[in-house]
Structure 1
Amino acid sequence: MSHPNPHLAYRADIDGLRAVAVLSVVIFHAFPAALPGGFVGVDIFFVISGYLISSIIIKALGRGEFSFADFYARRVRRIFPALLLVVSVCLAAGWGTLFPDEYAQLARHSVAGLGFVANFMFWREAGYFDTEAELKPLLHLWSLGIEEQFYIVWPALAVLAWRMRHRLGGILLALAAASLVASVALSAQFPVASYFLPPTRVWELLFGAALAWRLQRYGTIFPAASAWAPSVASVAGLSLIACGLVVIDKERAFPGAWALLPVGGAVLLIAAGPRAAVNRILLSARPVVWLGLISFPLYLWHWPLLSFTRIVHPERATPAVLVAALAAALVLSWATFRWVEQPVRRRGGRRTVAGLVLASVLLAVAGWNIHLRDGLEIRLKDAQAQQASAALRWEERWLESSDCRHLLPANFSGNCLIGDASRPPDAVIIGDSHANHFFWGISEALGRNGGNLLQINEDGCLLLDGMDTRERSGESRGCAPVAQAAFAYAAGAPQVDTIFLAGRWVLGITARQLKDKPGVFSRMHRKPVLLAAPDDPAVGRGEVIATALDDTLRQLTATGKRIVFLDSVPELDFNARECVHWTPNRFVSRIPRPECEVPRAVIEARNEEYRPYLRRVLEKYPQVIVFDPQTAMCDDRACLGRRDGELMYRDDDHLSMAGSRWLGARIVRALPAAPNGDPRPGS
């Protein structure tokens, strides 16, 4: 017997739409260049989820049978079996494959994922020092957090609206419109927050919910006489999704208005109904439906497999290996669906639900214990591996402190650190995150001679006079006020006799990292602009930085203080964790890059991309002391990531604490006398 409303019966075409969504995400994660907009598959999932779950809620409300207990029990049976399995396997695999900092991070992410707040954690973590996405095996759980947060609030709101004389439709549209407006308005200015947080994402689920409300109230969207309209809508929907997959990429302000492509396409395909052309012919095809049926476990499995592959053997992550990882994900997904999901959903009662909840709590406790114990460093039996893996850490307390805030304006928005908070500084280092990685080594070396170093920095900002930095959206990053406060203090404090300028000059001028592929511009970088001519297209990046550096040095040298310019450290074209040797078991051997170096010829070619701009300015100020880290960190053959048995880096361009101390001591030893005649600052 056919269902009186075909939209409320089981629809194979919606499973087919799930297949489109998951396949898009999987291809993007494995081969991002092949499908640059593949990540919008998550937005399609949001629409489907909003539609299906809201259909259940609205249908139950209409019969007067809605139960919160039943609703959340269904969610537990649907989500927890596969989620618990995947998180458990990831923690078990991490024990024998991940370094302590990686394992502690995985454990922290597992707790956030099990608590459905992973999106908030990844939002807080995102930034200049954030670990690369491919090193986070549970990164994909952010989307599950969005969905479950929605379903914590939505049922109660739906019940309340239903009791208000069935005003559910109006409330749905108002909330969806407000969220969409917020998404469009904020995605460019606050891209990370807009991507991860519910207020700018919930409209996608609400579009699905509004469609569910409309179909359950009126039965259809299209006039009964227009037999061709659903098929036209299905073609239009598939076209919008296809356009989104090709046109959207990670450089767009997303979600925002761009998300209307996949969201609108998904809405049209669901609204078209199972008899529409695309839905009937393509989305209801057996192989497509099968893929849709395993889409949830496939979404959960595929990313950890790709991530662990890239973590443990980055040099072996060839297309063939990645395809093999995806094949394994398919097998695991089918097995999870067949032997884990289906039995629980069919026969799971209250005891099963309680057991799943208890298991998730126990697993979260285990994960938190791993996090609190810093990733269980005892797993590394090799002393050298322990020492090298420790070099990969850079703790939050090493970034900033409140002990030096009183030296700066009350509204100061940057970061500061001071070697000895009990006395005023006699040296200041100003810059971006590279000022921070220089600070610790220079501060310790100066401290041994009685000096005291103050750091003033802002991550991602080359701090120069008369220059600001803009986000990709065109919004100011707020670097200029930090620079003004820094130079005002350094120039005006009479006890300060030495000023260090530090920065990742090479990235600021070239807009790419050494590890980037040719033609790819670093997504983390922003555009430097002159405050006097912020919108002059004729002034390129190098000219902007050269002009601002000239103005800065002219003013600083006029103070009579000793000015030290610290050039960029040589970049690696790989992550420093690839230099750590560890063979935890007979199945895993993390020794992918024993040489841990970059050919000198590569570094010299890189120097020619940015140093001419700096050289032209520095030659005008012979009194400025220029220190080139490459003189210490490179020999005639290569620039070395490891010196004197110590790992110099913690990623591809930031020094480790050991590297900071090693290089900082050499910087201080190379300094000539200060203007007051002291052989060392503070001595």
Structure 2
Amino acid sequence: MSRISQVSLPQMQSSDFRFEINALRAFAVLAVMAYHFGVPGFSGGFTGVDVFFVISGFLMASQVLSASERDAFSFASFYSSRLRRIFPALFVVVVVCLVWGWFFDLPKDYINTNRHAVSALFFVSNIAFDGERGYFDAAAHTKSLLHTWSLAVEGQFYIFLPVFLILMQRFAKRYLFLITGIVLLVGCVWALYINHVTPGKGFYLLSCRIWEFFIGVMLATYHMRKLNAAARNLLSISGLVFLIGSFCLIDASIPWPGIWTLIPTLAAAMLIAAGNTDLTRKLLGFWPLQRVGDISYSLYLWHWPVWVFSNNMLSMSGRAPYWVDRLGMLLLSLLLASLSWRFVEQPIRKQRQWWTSKRLVFLASVGTLSVFSFGLANVAVNGMPFRLPIYVQRAAEATFINTPRDECFRRGDSTKDASEQFCVFGVASALSPELALWGDSHANQYLTAVSDAATRNNVAGIIATQSACSAKKIESNAIINSACEKFNQEVYQYISSHAAIKTVILGKWWAGIDNAPLLTLIRDLVSQGKKVVLIGALPSPGFDVPERWSKQQISAGQAIDSMVIPMSSQSPALAIREKMMSELLPLLQTGSVIYIDPFKHLCDHEKCRLVEDGSSNFRDESHLSHSSTMRFMPDFEDAIRKMEARQ
């Protein structure tokens, strides 16, 4: 008899109510909420998502295998049931986030909110977020639909799983457990490899998460030996201890998913494998815990927007959430989840005479296409700035990037939309480029000012800028470990081999970065007979300026024309400036290096001006707005003129 046909124990039957699985859902969602709400002692609460993946793997595999054994499996019925379970409540949350964003998001942010909404409804938001900042970054706390990444991973798994299981049932039924184990092992090794090569890269991707689902799938495909009550109690208690331990002891500094992910996933597997026991029934059958398990899906959906929206409102008053605020968020999340479960989830799942599969698919399609069309319209009119008061629209204007040849700025993986190796700025008719703008986005932000200055001096230059990649000397025989290093090697070799490039303009993000490589590069370029224009450190606001400015104006109900921070808050940036000036003093004195100091344009002895005369000097927390960068054009023009005179 095959292992599949032997799945007959109560703990293996997905049709029976599994109170321990319901409790697992409750533990998982409460842990995730505790982590997101900043409850002390839950540094690993994010592992609750991994628990959900194991549960999904077990339940979905059990459902497919059970129906297949009865020769009653239907792909249409399976996908319809998944749509019925997941889509309606998700759609409601997506619409609420869009409505909220209509009133509070700046146009650039609203475009992103719409993009996230469409991605969520098409179950590809994990891919969308993979191209943005990481899950654990502070910026993630402004994305109201960030949590839908896990639903996208589950949705993609649901597409793959029944196809895999039915094929195995037909062609390799005897080896299903073995093949499932191989998939699990290969997936785990792949996740470890990705995290080793690029830490954090696999967080959002199904390819690095599928092994977690397959822990649950293996439980559904293997006939466990019948354990006595004592052994099952021990298995349950051990699983519970490891589960709570992972919630409390793991933290975000650990590459995830990775080897430590085995703790919460295997803990969940232990509880599922043990099944219903007298002891765990007393521990996990606690009525409030079971009710949280019932509403766990809606609770997961609602808690994150509640957190994001609440923090948005609190930030308008310039404060962080207190414990009483967090308690209020918890209660509001529970209320909204209960309403969602009662009036959205339950009717659509149970009232099937009206909510037929065809009607559900039709309405889901109409809803998704409506959100998609709204998103296209939103992009077409630049985030619909007319939604906001005129004085808030000024903040919105600062967030849009307006540099020439944006297609030439390389993404973090070193790809760009332009076909040429290095795009040219300045005078296109110049015989050959004499300048190079080299650095990260904090160099690229000055491109318009640099290009205008080059044009006025009748010279041209090349654009050598890449996201999050500070300029650095990389020798031709060096071992390359990243796209940034490969890019810097390419730029260095190009500049070194082109004698016509006489001046190199360097810019970078300075905060928290070791500047020794930059000093080495500058000295090397000077030794080659090149001149260097170095753009110094910017003042550091410590927050997204247009966002903070817009919130203050919305809260005040009127225009606010200025925003400043004390000069005393800029000690780190000033220390960097003093150190660089000291290190480069001999080169500054000979004129081989010219230092452009942003502080002279943005600060005086007492304060730095983030907003002045109703215009923002920054487009986010660290980049200058377009209008602000144009103040530097005379500096670049003067520097280019001086460099050209010294050739």
Q: State the TM-score, normalizing by the size of structure 1.
A: 0.83
Deviation track 1:114-154 (CA, whole Å, cap 9, x = no partner) reads 000111111123479x9911121111111101101111121
Deviation track 1:387-432 (CA, whole Å, cap 9, x = no partner) reads 32021123798654299xxxx9xxx999866345554322212222
Corresponding residue for 2:341? 337
**1:107-506 pair list within 5 angstroms:** 107-126=114-133, 132-164=139-171, 166=173, 167-214=175-222, 218=223, 221-224=224-227, 226-275=228-277, 277=279, 279-314=280-315, 315-319=318-322, 320-348=324-352, 349-358=356-365, 359-382=367-390, 384-394=391-401, 399-401=406-408, 418-419=425-426, 423=430, 424-465=432-473, 476-506=481-511
Q: For 2:53 and 2:420, how far apart are their aligned partners in 1?
A: 37
Q: For 1:195 and 1:443, how far apart are their aligned partners in 2?
A: 39
Q: Structure 1 pair 422/263, CA: closer, same or farther in 2 (3 Å)?
A: farther
Farther off after superposition, 263-272 or 614-623: 614-623
Farther off after superposition, 445-454 or 666-675: 666-675
Shift of 1:280: 1.9
Q: Structure 1 pair 594/302, CA: closer, same or farther in 2 (3 Å)?
A: farther
Corresponding residue for 1:554? 523
Deviation track 1:294-342 (CA, whole Å, cap 9, x = no partner) reads 1111111111121123335423441233432232111010001011111
Q: For 1:328 and 1:154, how far apart are their aligned partners in 2?
A: 35
- For the Cα contact (< 8 Å) 1:222–1:229, is it kept in 2? no
Q: For 1:396 and 1:438, how far apart are their aligned partners in 2?
A: 8
Shift of 1:467: 8.9
- For the Cα contact (< 8 Å) 1:108–1:368, is it kept in 2? no
Deviation track 1:229-259 (CA, whole Å, cap 9, x = no partner) reads 2222222212222332233322221102121
Q: For 1:191 and 1:399, how far apart are their aligned partners in 2?
A: 28
Shift of 1:6: 4.2
Q: Structure 1 pair 273/595, CA: closer, same or farther in 2 (3 Å)?
A: farther
Q: Structure 1 pair 619/583, CA: closer, same or farther in 2 (3 Å)?
A: closer
Q: For 1:391 and 1:58, how far apart are their aligned partners in 2?
A: 56
Shift of 1:611: 4.2
Is 1:667 aligned to 2:635, yes or no? yes
- For the Cα contact (< 8 Å) 1:500–1:564, is it kept in 2? yes
Q: Structure 1 pair 388/198, CA: closer, same or farther in 2 (3 Å)?
A: same
- For the Cα contact (< 8 Å) 1:28–1:39, is it kept in 2? yes
Task: Give the partner amino acid of 2:86.
Answer: I
Shift of 1:99: 1.1
**Paired positions, count:** 617
Q: Structure 1 pair 433/265, CA: closer, same or farther in 2 (3 Å)?
A: same
Q: For 1:127 and 1:268, how far apart are their aligned partners in 2?
A: 31
- For the Cα contact (< 8 Å) 1:380–1:584, is it kept in 2? no
Task: Give the partner amino acid of 2:238.
Answer: A
Q: Structure 1 pair 488/262, CA: closer, same or farther in 2 (3 Å)?
A: same
Q: For 2:152 and 2:640, how far apart are their aligned partners in 1?
A: 56
- For the Cα contact (< 8 Å) 1:444–1:661, is it kept in 2? no
- For the Cα contact (< 8 Å) 1:399–1:417, is it kept in 2? no
Task: Give the partner amino acid of 2:321.
Answer: T
Deviation track 1:414-461 (CA, whole Å, cap 9, x = no partner) reads 986634555432221222221111222222233234333322123223
Task: Give the partner amino acid of 1:555.
Answer: D
Corresponding residue for 1:602? 569
Is 1:620 aligned to 2:586, yes or no? yes
Shift of 1:614: 2.4
Shift of 1:50: 1.0
Which runs of 5 or more structure 2 residues have no equivalent in the other structure? 1-7
Shift of 1:182: 0.4
- For the Cα contact (< 8 Å) 1:627–1:667, is it kept in 2? yes
Q: For 1:196 and 1:395, how far apart are their aligned partners in 2?
A: 31
Deviation track 1:37-93 (CA, whole Å, cap 9, x = no partner) reads 111111001111111121111111111111112111211111112111111111112
Corresponding residue for 1:530? none
Q: For 1:198 and 1:86, how far apart are their aligned partners in 2?
A: 23
Corresponding residue for 2:17? 10
Task: Give the partner amino acid of 1:297.
Answer: S
Shift of 1:197: 1.2
- For the Cα contact (< 8 Å) 2:35–2:45, is it kept in 1? yes
Task: Give the partner amino acid of 1:134.
Answer: H
Task: Give the partner amino acid of 2:472.
Answer: L
Q: For 1:4 and 1:590, how far apart are their aligned partners in 2?
A: 64
**1:563-574 pair list within 5 angstroms:** 563-574=532-543
**1:504-543 pair list within 5 angstroms:** 504-509=509-514
Task: Give the partner amino acid of 2:338.
Answer: W
SS in 2 for 1:508: coil
- For the Cα contact (< 8 Å) 2:480–2:486, is it kept in 1? no
Which runs of 5 or more structure 1 residues have no equivalent in the other structure? 510-544
Corresponding residue for 2:5? none
Task: Give the partner amino acid of 2:60.
Answer: I
Farther off after superposition, 593-602 or 139-148: 593-602
SS in 2 for 1:455: strand
Task: Give the partner amino acid of 1:257.
Answer: I
**57, 65, 70: which one aligns with 1:63:** 70
- For the Cα contact (< 8 Å) 2:408–2:463, is it kept in 1? no
SS in 1 for 2:399: coil
Q: Structure 1 pair 439/508, CA: closer, same or farther in 2 (3 Å)?
A: same
Shift of 1:20: 0.8
Shift of 1:654: 1.2
Corresponding residue for 1:31? 38
Corresponding residue for 1:88? 95
Q: Structure 1 pair 379/233, CA: closer, same or farther in 2 (3 Å)?
A: same
Q: State the TM-score, normalizing by the size of structure 2.
A: 0.87
RMSD over equivalenced CA pairs, Å: 3.2
Q: For 1:179 and 1:440, how far apart are their aligned partners in 2?
A: 47
- For the Cα contact (< 8 Å) 2:200–2:256, is it kept in 1? no
Is 1:49 aligned to 2:56, yes or no? yes
Task: Give the partner amino acid of 2:243.
Answer: I
Shift of 1:186: 1.1
Q: Structure 1 pair 376/283, CA: closer, same or farther in 2 (3 Å)?
A: same
Q: For 1:413 and 1:303, how far apart are their aligned partners in 2?
A: 43
Corresponding residue for 1:72? 79
Task: Give the partner amino acid of 1:306.
Answer: W
Q: For 2:282 and 2:634, how far apart are their aligned partners in 1?
A: 70
Shift of 1:207: 0.9
Q: For 2:140 and 2:613, how far apart are their aligned partners in 1?
A: 31
Is 1:575 aligned to 2:577, yes or no? no
Q: For 2:552 and 2:256, how far apart are their aligned partners in 1?
A: 41
- For the Cα contact (< 8 Å) 1:101–1:374, is it kept in 2? yes
- For the Cα contact (< 8 Å) 2:392–2:553, is it kept in 1? no
Shift of 1:171: 2.5
- For the Cα contact (< 8 Å) 1:54–1:212, is it kept in 2? yes
Q: Structure 1 pair 292/488, CA: closer, same or farther in 2 (3 Å)?
A: same
